[in-house]
Amino acid sequence: MSDISERGQGHYASADVVPFQIWRGGLWAALSWGSASAVTWFLPDVIQWGATGGFAILTGVIALVFLALAFLVTPARNPGLVHYGPWFIVLGLWLLIWEVVTAKLGWLPKPFFSPPQGLLHVYLSDWDRLLLCIAYTGRLWGLGFFFGISVGFLAGIGLGWSKRFAYWGMPFLKLIGPVPASAWIPCAFFVFPTTFQASVFLVALASGIPVAILTASGISQVSRSYYDVARTLGAGNRWQVTKIAIPAALPNVFVGLFMGLYYSFAVLVVAEMLGAKFGLGWYLQFNTAYSAYANVYAGLLIMALLCAGLVRLLFVIRDRLLGWQKGIV
């Protein structure tokens, strides 16, 4: 009996031990980033660029990190990192190709195209102005976006709940909805006393309209039987709106938020190009006028990362608020 129990314990103990595995995606990522580093360091540039050595060192360090992770990471216990392995590989290959066709071969000539070290040079040399522009853009976008979605959400509730409000409001919303927010620039700059207020209005308009339309659509699609049951139990209109209509319409509301987020960033660039003193849109226009396209690409990359981060944050908020719908929808 003791031999059997010992063998059984040994079996279960060995089952808990995960065998050593090499993360092959990490090896390939290390190879792609290391290749980009080697090409940047050893091959001569057609035209001299700043921060070439810094970019080679940076990509080399990242390659060493991936190489270490390939031996330290257990794929079975780190599925998230393994999931993004192909992206790490492709990103390294993209930097390698980008480096070759710009700095090394000159197929994409200066100043219209910049190698990756050109962007790194911009971040190292112009970081103070970029941070100031990010702060100005964040203030403008934050005021316009949150004001727009707040008004759009309340308007959508009214349009979806009240037939009288929808009778007057929906035709007006359908009239101005298809018109791009940038088309209202002349009116906005005439009505508002400052360019900043006009820019806030344009961002709010771009973000609020899709939220209003989709919120109204979500509330109008709620089954009337829910309201009948609530009224039978003595619930008033306010309780029905806050406890039935709004929760049921949240999936549509978040679709409107995603659309409004993208539209607000598109209008943001245009609004900051007209009369703004700072901001990423102003930064793009200022550097385009001086043919500093490396700065333009650096600013565009920052805007893309900011938008992607906000979209990711919105996904997290949506998953938390709509967690109760898992298994139902």
Tens digit of each residue's pLDDT, the chain (329 residues):
444 444 444 444 444 444 557 888 899 999 999 999 999 999 998 888 888 999 999 999 999 999 999 998 887 787 888 888 899 999 999 999 999 999 999 898 887 889 999 999 999 999 999 999 999 999 999 999 999 999 999 999 888 888 888 888 888 888 887 777 778 878 887 888 888 888 889 999 999 999 999 999 888 887 777 776 777 777 777 877 788 788 888 888 999 999 999 989 888 888 887 767 788 888 988 888 888 899 999 999 999 999 999 999 999 998 888 876 664 44
Is 228 a member of any domain? yes
Distance CA 328, CA 164 (A): 33
Question: CATH number, domain at 194?
Answer: 1.10.3720.10
- Verify that 96 and 223 share a domain, yes or no: no
Cis amide linkage into residue 111, ω under 30° from 0: yes
Calpha distance 153→175 (Å, rounded): 18
Domain count along the chain: 2
Cα 170–chain centre separation:
30
> Is 244 a domain residue?
yes
CA 208 to chain centre: 18
Taking a C-beta distance cutoff of 8 angstroms, is the pair 264, 148 a contact?
yes
Long-range Cβ contact pairs of 237-244 (< 8 A, separation 24 or more): 241/157, 241/161
How would DSSP label each residue in 193-218? Answer: SSHHHHHHHHHHHHHHHHHHHHHHHH
Instruction: Determine, yes or no, domain membership for 25.
Output: yes
* Cα 284 versus chain centre, distance: 19
Q: Which of 110, 142, 171 is the last residue of a domain?
A: 110
Boundary of a domain, candidates 67, 82, 110: 110
For residues 89 and 155, membership in a common domain is answered with no
Per-residue pLDDT at 13: 44
Answer positive or negative: Cα dihedral of 36, 39, 42, 46.
Answer: negative
Examine residue 235 and state whether it is found in any structural domain, yes or no.
yes
Q: How many H helices and E strands in the chain?
A: 15, 0
Residues 135 and 47 in one domain: no
Same-domain status, 64 and 96 = yes
Q: Global pTM?
A: 0.81
Report yes or no on 117 lying in a domain.
Answer: no
Nearest to 65 by CA among 32, 104, 17: 32
Question: In the structure encoding, which two tokens stand for residue 211, read together?
Answer: 């939220």
CA–CA gap between residue 253 and residue 220 (Å, rounded): 12
Nearest to 262 by CA among 179, 154, 141: 141
Q: Are residues 66 and 144 in the same domain?
A: no
**What's the confidence (pLDDT) of residue 2?**
47
Q: Assess if residue 60 is contained within a domain.
A: yes
Full domain range(s) for residue 159:
127-322
In a domain, 6, yes or no: no
- Whether residue 36 sits in one domain with residue 101: yes
Q: How far are the Cα atoms of 36, 55, 210 from residue 31, in angstroms, in the given order? A: 9, 16, 45
Q: Are residues 201 and 248 in the same domain?
A: yes
Residue 69 sits in the same domain as residue 155: no
Q: Does the residue 8 lie in any domain?
A: no
Among the candidates 110, 141, 157, a domain finishes at: 110
- 47/144 same-domain check: no
Same domain, 90 and 26: yes
Q: What is the pLDDT of residue 42?
A: 93
| Residues 67 and 146 reside in one and the same domain | no
How many Å apart are CA 41 and CA 110, to the nearest integer? 20
Residues 155 and 207 occupy one common structural domain = yes
